């Protein structure tokens, strides 16, 4: 897997069958690393340096002198490493929520077409779409980054293939049943997720960055203090969280870091200190690390940033492990994490991108419902209401930013300050990139009535799922909470428990839609363009065609097209009149 890449360096992550020396060669540059062992599995992280900025060249991977990548006879192009170049427009893709089932008719029937794989096939020119002239579907170069925003694997909702592996090891009638139990099962799950030939090729030639969400560990992970105490009372949770965080560090987080950040990382420093010792298994060390950071999340940071000269600052936020769940001092980010994010939210770039697995701006109805549930669980309507509120937020997954109002309000104010030019030069956009909710959309935000004028466009862009569609019933429920009276009624509910007004207001600019899809984003100076693609089966389930689902664009000045602004003002006026009528009727009743 090709992971961290900048202007002059690239990091290649490898898992091997046994202890070995791994060599990577790209043109005249080469580097090698000895594998390290975690619970019997062997890994290497090879760092190439001294590369030419803005260059693209093929590379090979050898294990103990034998070339293993690219594979002989592969139908896919030879993988390349493309370094960044200052001033070159940034191109990236993002998305979340992907299950690993077969890509035949049966798998597509239950889970839809894998949008990531359809995109991989198109990038590899394995499919000849009728609209090949569309630059969005047939780009002239590879993206600079693939950002995975959570639920890269599902540890709790396992597939038939994963269940068969589990059953070969233990009794699935005993806890944790068909859910993952230990590191060995996580290692197998990651192999299932990333070893399909098309996706494997893609991940070897497009750099990737990642952050976890709940299903990487378990549904509703860290929803509340009650949820956590319930899990910790089981016989199996300790093993799950230790294996989940430990394997996440190995399979996902290790490649998120730059070479300098890795050298400063406490765990990787231990790996380097034992370099060449093939007998030393780091499993117990990583287990102890995972146990500690679970109980004391302030001792390690999973969040990180990526800088793309003066064009883009990408800030990727841990919105799961860093939660503070004390009912009297509840926050999505603990004080250390909140202070770190506050420091990263600065201007002086063309675009500030904030990657958070959970949408910062949900549909208005959902947002207000989450704020209401938090206040209710916190005792706004007494002890009985508190029990109802706790059941409600767990049952309906009400645990996004809106359900942590103190954190939402703080980050909203900080984002508005960036957009107002109070934290350095105002960027063209402040854009939140998210997943999780199994539907996709773009929302535009503006100051609440009486708020400071903004110089930046504030956006929320969501891409979910890559491959795990909602049922029809859940789509209907989501749509109900996204449109019409849901917003005003939800606002009335949250006001009834004295939830503070947000410093900004927002509305859909595009969506929502429910397809399996992958989002692409391109910036060039102040302009920003996003589009969502999906896979469609024409005549062969194994070779889907790539199709566009939706798009959103800001012009060279960072503004929506004029006709869009006119349309939005018109629609906003109708919505406002409709909302006022609804409020009048609610008051009368």
Number of other CB atoms surrounding residue 266 within 10 Å = 9
Q: Quick check: pTM over 0.95? A: no
- Number of Cβ within 10 Å of residue 477's Cβ equals 13
Q: Are 321 and 347 in contact (CB under 8 A)?
A: no
Q: Given this model, what pLDDT does residue 179 score? A: 98
* Tokens of residue 71, six digits: 């594979």
| Nearest residue to 136 via CA among 546, 569, 577, 579 | 546
Give the per-residue pLDDT at 253. Answer: 98
Query: Checking phi first, is residue 325 left (phi over 0); if not, alpha (psi -120 to 50) or beta?
Result: alpha
Return d(Cα 305, Cα 201) in angstroms, integer.
26
Place of tokens 């509703």: 220
**CA distances in angstroms from 525 to 88, 316, 351, 509, listed in the order given:** 10, 21, 8, 22
pLDDT tens series, the chain, 589 aa? 999 999 999 999 999 999 999 999 999 999 999 999 999 999 999 999 999 999 999 999 999 999 999 999 999 999 999 999 999 999 999 999 999 999 999 999 999 999 999 999 999 986 555 556 788 888 888 999 999 999 999 999 999 999 999 999 999 999 999 999 999 999 999 999 999 999 999 999 999 999 999 999 999 999 999 999 999 999 999 999 999 999 999 999 999 999 999 999 999 999 999 998 999 999 999 999 999 999 999 999 999 999 998 899 999 999 999 999 999 999 999 999 999 999 999 999 999 999 999 999 999 888 988 888 888 888 888 888 888 888 888 887 889 999 999 999 999 999 999 999 999 999 999 999 999 999 999 999 999 988 889 999 999 999 999 999 998 888 877 777 666 545 565 566 666 666 788 899 999 999 999 999 999 999 999 999 999 999 999 999 999 999 999 999 998 877 876 545 444 444 444 444 444 555 455 556 5
Distances (CA, A) of 394 to 219, 333, 361: 10, 19, 20
- pLDDT for 74 equals 95
Q: Give every CB contact of residue 494 below 8 A, 6+ residues apart in sequence.
A: 368, 369, 371, 372, 375
Q: Are 301 and 337 in contact (CB under 8 A)?
A: yes
- For residues 462 and 94, give the distance between their C-alpha atoms in angstroms, rounded to a whole number: 9
Furthest C-alpha separation in the chain: 80
Question: Residue 393 has what pLDDT?
Answer: 84
User: Cα separation of 319 and 313, whole Å?
Assistant: 18
Contact (CB, 8 A) for 5 and 29: no
Structure tokens at 559: 């503004």
CB 255 within 8 A of CB 208: yes
Distances (CA, A) of 281 to 43, 116, 277, 319: 11, 34, 9, 31
Instruction: Quote the strand ranges of 303-439, DSSP E.
Output: 304-308, 312-317, 351-356, 429-434
Phi, then psi, of 547 in degrees rounded to 5: -135, 150
Per-residue pLDDT, 495:
67
């Amino acid at each position: 897997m090709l992971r961290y890449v900048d202007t002059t360096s690239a990091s290649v992550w490898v898992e091997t069958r046994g202890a070995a020396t791994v060599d990577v060669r790209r043109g005249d540059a080469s580097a090698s690393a000895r594998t390290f062992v975690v619970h019997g599995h062997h890994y290497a992280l090879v760092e190439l340096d001294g590369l030419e900025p803005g260059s693209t060249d093929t590379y090979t991977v050898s294990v103990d002198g034998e070339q293993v990548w690219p594979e002989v006879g592969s139908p896919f192009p030879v993988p390349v490493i493309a370094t960044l170049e200052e001033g070159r427009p940034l191109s990236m893709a993002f998305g979340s929520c992907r299950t690993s089932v077969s890509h035949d008719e049966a798998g597509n029937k239950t889970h839809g077409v894998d949008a990531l794989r359809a995109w991989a096939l198109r990038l590899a020119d394995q499919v000849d779409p009728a609209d090949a002239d569309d630059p969005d579907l047939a780009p002239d170069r590879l993206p600079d980054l693939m950002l995975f925003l959570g639920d890269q694997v599902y540890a709790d909702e396992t597939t038939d293939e994963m269940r068969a592996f589990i059953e070969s090891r233990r009794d699935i009638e005993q806890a944790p049943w068909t859910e993952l139990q230990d590191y060995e099962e996580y290692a197998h799950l990651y192999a299932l997720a990333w070893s399909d030939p098309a996706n494997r090729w893609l991940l070897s030639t497009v750099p990737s960055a990642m952050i976890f969400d709940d299903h990487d560990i378990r549904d509703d992970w860290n929803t509340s203090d009650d949820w956590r105490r319930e899990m910790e009372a089981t016989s199996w949770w300790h093993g799950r969280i230790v294996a989940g965080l430990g394997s996440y560090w190995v399979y996902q987080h290790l490649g998120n870091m730059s070479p300098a950040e890795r050298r400063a990382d406490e765990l990787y420093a231990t790996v380097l200190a034992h370099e060449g010792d093939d007998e030393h298994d780091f499993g117990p060390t990583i287990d102890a690390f995972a146990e500690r950071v679970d109980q004391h999340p302030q001792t390690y940071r999973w969040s990180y940033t990526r800088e793309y000269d003066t064009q883009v600052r990408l800030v990727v936020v841990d919105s799961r492990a860093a939660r503070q769940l004390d009912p009297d001092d509840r926050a999505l980010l603990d004080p250390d994490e909140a202070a770190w994010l506050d420091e990263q939210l600065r201007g002086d770039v063309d675009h500030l991108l904030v990657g958070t697995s959970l949408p910062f701006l949900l549909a208005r109805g959902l947002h207000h419902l989450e704020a209401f549930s938090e206040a209710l669980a916190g005792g706004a309507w007494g002890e009985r209401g508190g029990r109802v509120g706790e059941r409600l937020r767990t049952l309906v997954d009400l645990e996004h930013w809106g359900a942590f109002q103190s954190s939402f309000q703080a980050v909203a104010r900080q984002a508005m300050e960036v957009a107002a030019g109070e934290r350095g030069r105002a960027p063209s956009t402040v854009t939140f990139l998210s997943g999780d909710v199994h539907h996709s959309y773009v929302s535009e935000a503006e100051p609440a009535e009486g708020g400071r004028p903004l110089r930046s466009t504030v956006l929320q862009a969501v891409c979910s799922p890559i491959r795990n569609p909602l049922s029809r019933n859940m789509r209907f429920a989501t749509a109900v909470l996204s449109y019409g009276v849901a917003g005003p009624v939800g606002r009335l509910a949250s006001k009834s428990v004295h939830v503070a007004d947000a410093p900004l207001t927002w509305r859909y600019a595009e969506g929502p839609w429910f397809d399996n899809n992958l989002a692409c984003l391109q910036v060039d100076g102040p302009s920003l363009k996003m589009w969502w693609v999906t896979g469609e089966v024409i005549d062969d389930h194994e070779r889907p065609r790539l199709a566009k689902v939706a798009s959103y664009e800001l012009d060279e000045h960072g503004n929506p097209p004029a006709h869009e602004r006119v349309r939005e003002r018109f629609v906003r006026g109708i919505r406002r009149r409709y909302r006022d009528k609804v409020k009048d009727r609610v008051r009368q009743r």
